[in-house]
Structure 1
Amino acid sequence: MKKPNHTPAGRAMTDLVLELFRASTRMITAGDRLVADIGLTSARWQLLGTIVSADRAQPVSWIARDMGANRQNVQRIVNDLVKDGLLEFQPNPHHRRAQLVVLTDAGKETFDLAMKLQAPWINELSEGLDVDAIQTTHQVLNQLRNKLEEDQKD
C-alpha cells in the first residue's frame, strides 16, 4: 500500500491529531473519576462550565454551539441536570420555545466543588511540564479549532 504524500506540516499535524485523540480519551476518563463522587461526569462538568463562563443565560442550541457539540446530546445532558436540580429552564423573552438554561444554587455549588477538586489535580498533572510549551500548545490548538470552525461554516 502506498503511503500518503504529506507535507512536513501535514505529517506533524497528523501526529498531533492522533495524540489528541489518545489524550482526549484519557482526559475524559480522568475527569469522570475526579468528579464521580459529586454526581458529575466530564460531559456534565463541561456543560456546567460552559454555562458558568457564558456572559448570560442561553438556550440549549447556543450552549451546544459554544461547546462545539451536537445540540441533541447537549439537550439530553441538560434534561438530566434539570432532573438532578443542578439546572433549570427559564422563559426566553426573545423566543417562546427556546427556553434559557440557568444554573441553580445546587448547580453552582456542584460546579464550585468540581473546580476545588480540579485545582490540585491539574497542578499535579502539569508538574514538571514547561509552561511555555503548554502555552504554545494552547495557541496551536486554538488556531486549529478556529480553522476547523471556519471550514464548517462553508
Structure 2
Amino acid sequence: MPPDELGHRLTEVFDLVGPLYRRVQRKVEQGEAVEGLSVGVRAVLDLLHKNGPLTVPQMGRAQAISRQFVQRMVNDAAGHGWVESVPNPAHQRSSLIRLTEPGRAVIASVLAREHLLLRQVGGGLTDADVRACVQVLGRMLDLFDHVDVN
C-alpha cells in the first residue's frame, strides 16, 4: 500500500482504538466493585501475571507510563495484598514486585470475566484476522517507540 494511503487507513485504526480503550476502561472500572481494583492496578497485575516479577521501572517502560504512576499502582496493589516486594539479585536498590496468591486469584478472576466478554465479539473473525490486527497494532506501537513526532 502506498505510504499516503497507508497513513490514511491507519488513522481509521486510531479512530477506533481510542473509543475502544475508553469503553474497556469503563467496563474494568465497573468490575472494580467486584475485585476492588482500578484500571492501573489491573494493568500492573496483568504485567506481572504475564511476565513474572518486574521492577517498577520495567513496568513503566513496558506500559509507556511514568515510574511514579506505576509506583502508585503498585502501592495500591500492595495495600490490598495482591503484590509484594522482594529482593532483586540484579539490582540492590530496585526491588522486584511479584504477585501474591491473592493477587494471582484476583487477576485470574478479572481475566476470566474479560475472556467471557471477548468471546462475544463474533462477526466471523478468523485467526488470520486477529493475527493481522495484532501485527498492525504492534507495528504502530513500534513506530511510536522509535519516532520523534515533533
Q: Tell me the distance in 1 between the aligned counterparts of 2:18 and 2:53.
A: 31
Correspondence 1:1-154 to 2 at 5 A: 7-54=4-51, 56-124=52-120, 126-131=121-126, 132-151=128-147
Under a length normalisation based on structure 1, what TM-score does the superposition of the two structures give?
Answer: 0.84
Give the 3 Å change call, closer, same or farther, for CA 122–35 of structure 1 in structure 2.
farther
Deviates more, 1:70-79 or 1:40-49: 40-49
Q: CA deviation at 1:129?
A: 4.5
Q: Please, which moves more after superposition, 20-29 or 77-86?
A: 20-29
Which residue number corresponds to residue 3 of structure 1?
A: none
SS in 2 for 1:57: coil
Shift of 1:150: 2.1
Q: Is the 8 A contact 2:41 2:76 kept in 1?
A: no
Decide whether aligned partners of structure 1 residues 129 and 30 sit closer, same or farther in structure 2, where only a CA change above 3 A counts: farther
Identity %: 22
What runs of 5+ residues in structure 1 fail to find an aligned partner? 1-5
Kindly state the Cα deviation for residue 35 of structure 1 after the two structures are TM-superposed.
4.4
Q: 1:7-47: per-residue Cα shift (whole Å, max 9, x none)?
A: 22222222321221122111211222234311122222121
SS at match of 2:20: helix
Which secondary structure state, in structure 2, belongs to the residue aligned with residue 89 of structure 1?
strand
Aligned equivalents of 2:124, 2:47: Cα separation in 1: 27
Q: 1:77 to 1:129 in 2, by over 3 A?
A: farther
Moved over 6 A (4+): none
Q: Is residue 53–residue 96 contact of structure 2 (8 Å, CA) maintained in 1?
A: yes
How far apart, CA to CA, are the structure 2 residues paired with 1:135 and 1:32? 28
Asked if the contact 2:53/2:98 (under 8 Å) is kept, the reply is yes
Distance 2:109 2:134 in 1: 25
| Number of aligned residue pairs | 145
- 1:57 positional shift: 1.8
**SS at 1:16 equivalent:** helix
1:151, distance to aligned residue in structure 2 (A)? 2.1
Unpaired stretches in structure 2, ≥5 consecutive residues: none
Letter in 1 for 2:20: A
Please tell me the root mean square deviation across aligned C-alpha atoms, in Å: 1.9
